[in-house]
Structure 1
Amino acid sequence: MRIADFPVPDTLAARGALAVAREYQSPAFTAHALRSWLWAEAFARVDGISGIDHELLYVSAVLHDIGTVTEFDNHTISYEHAGGHVGVALTAGAGWAVARRRRVLEVIVRHNWPRVDPTMDAEGYLLETATALDISGARPDALPEEFVREVLDVHPRGALAAEFGACVVDQAARKPDTAARRLVDGGVAGKLAANPLERVGPGSAEPNS
């Protein structure tokens, strides 16, 4: 398994999503988004999930945290809902049908669920599973070691632990009835620091070494 096995969708929506992410997010958050997309595609292969909408998965992964940035933050709703609505607007501009662009909202919102049933929402399951790996270190041994190292080499973690931890704490304080509060109460800062991916780099023996 290599990054080259998962080509970036060459579509208006995909290019637009990446442009928005790079313009508004920090490099660490955008790298997290791109790793999450690659982990999601890899989990689809490992878990035997077929028939997924690859463009939908890419756009949702790239924009899944866009609701945390100042320009799109919404004081009345969770950051995943705010980001999902950014995805709806972007894909409407790209000409997606109503039902499909609403799927962007669903997938982004569900990435913050404790668990998503893959038979109910395959793309939502994959993004939740992928972000759980990148943030909390869930299922660190599920993906091939060489693929994990390649992804981290191309999209390094940088200051993600500090940036995401501070961001979620802020979201939880301002919006205590949202998923951010559950993440903070669940010890997300400690999970970020202890994530095995933080210790993976060129020459590392294995993801959980």
Structure 2
Amino acid sequence: MRISDIPVPDTTAARGALALATEYQTPALTAHALRSWLWAEAFALVDGVTGVDRELLYVSAVLHDIGTVTEFDNHSLSYEHAGGHVGIALTAGAGWARERRHRVLDVIVRHNWPSVDPSMDAEGHLLETATALDISGSRPGDLPEVFVREVLAAHPRGALAAEFGACVVDQASRKPDTAARRLVDGGVVAKLAANPLELL
């Protein structure tokens, strides 16, 4: 398995998602988004998840944390809901049908669930699994080490642990009824620091 085996969707929505991410997010947060997409695609292969909408998965992965940035932060909505609505707006402009663009919201919101049944939402399951690896260090040995090292070299972790840790603590303090509070209470800051990917 190599990065070159996983093509980036060549679509208006995919290009737009990456443009938004790189314009508004820090390099560390955008690298996290791209790693999450690659981990998701890899877990689809390793776990045999089928019927995946690759464009939907890419757009959702690239935008899944955009609701944390100042320009899209919402005073009352959780950051994953805010980011999901950015995804709806982007894909509406790209001509997606209403039902499909609302799937972006579903997938982004569900990435913060403790788990997602793949039979209910394959893309949500894959993004939750991928972000659990990149943030909390879940299932680090389930992907080929050569692939993991290639992804980390292409999209370095940089200051992700410090940046995302501070971000989610801020979100939890301002919006205590959202998933950010559960993440903080679940020790996400310590998990970020102890993530085995930090050592590769």
TM-score, normalised to structure 2's length? 1.00
* Residue of structure 1 equivalent to 2:172: 172
> d(CA) in 1 for partners of 2:116 and 2:50?
16
TM-score, normalised to structure 1's length? 0.95
1:99 and 2:99 aligned = yes
1:86 and 2:90 aligned = no
Residue type of the alignment partner of 2:102: R
1:57 and 2:39 aligned = no
> d(CA) in 2 for partners of 1:123 and 1:141?
21
Residue type of the alignment partner of 2:34: L
* Residue of structure 2 equivalent to 1:204: none
* Residue of structure 2 equivalent to 1:203: none
User: Which runs of 4 or more aligned residues in structure 1 lie more than 2 Å from their structure 2 counterparts after TM superposition?
Assistant: none
Aligned-CA RMSD value: 0.3
* Residue of structure 1 equivalent to 2:111: 111
* Residue of structure 2 equivalent to 1:33: 33
Give, in angstroms, the shift of residue 50 of structure 1.
Answer: 1.3
Residue type of the alignment partner of 2:10: D
Residue type of the alignment partner of 2:72: F
5+ residue gaps, structure 1: 201-209
Give, in angstroms, the shift of residue 33 of structure 1.
Answer: 0.1
* Residue of structure 2 equivalent to 1:197: 197
* Residue of structure 1 equivalent to 2:13: 13
State the Cα deviation string for residues 36-62 of structure 1 (Å, max 9, x = none).
Answer: 000000000000011200000000000
> d(CA) in 2 for partners of 1:28 and 1:145?
21
* Residue of structure 1 equivalent to 2:157: 157
> d(CA) in 1 for partners of 2:195 and 2:52?
28
The DSSP-based 3-state class of the residue aligned with 2:107 is helix
Residue type of the alignment partner of 1:198: E
State the Cα deviation string for residues 64-89 of structure 1 (Å, max 9, x = none).
Answer: 00000000000111000000000000
* Residue of structure 1 equivalent to 2:22: 22
> d(CA) in 1 for partners of 2:125 and 2:52?
11
Number of aligned residues: 200
The DSSP-based 3-state class of the residue aligned with 2:148 is helix
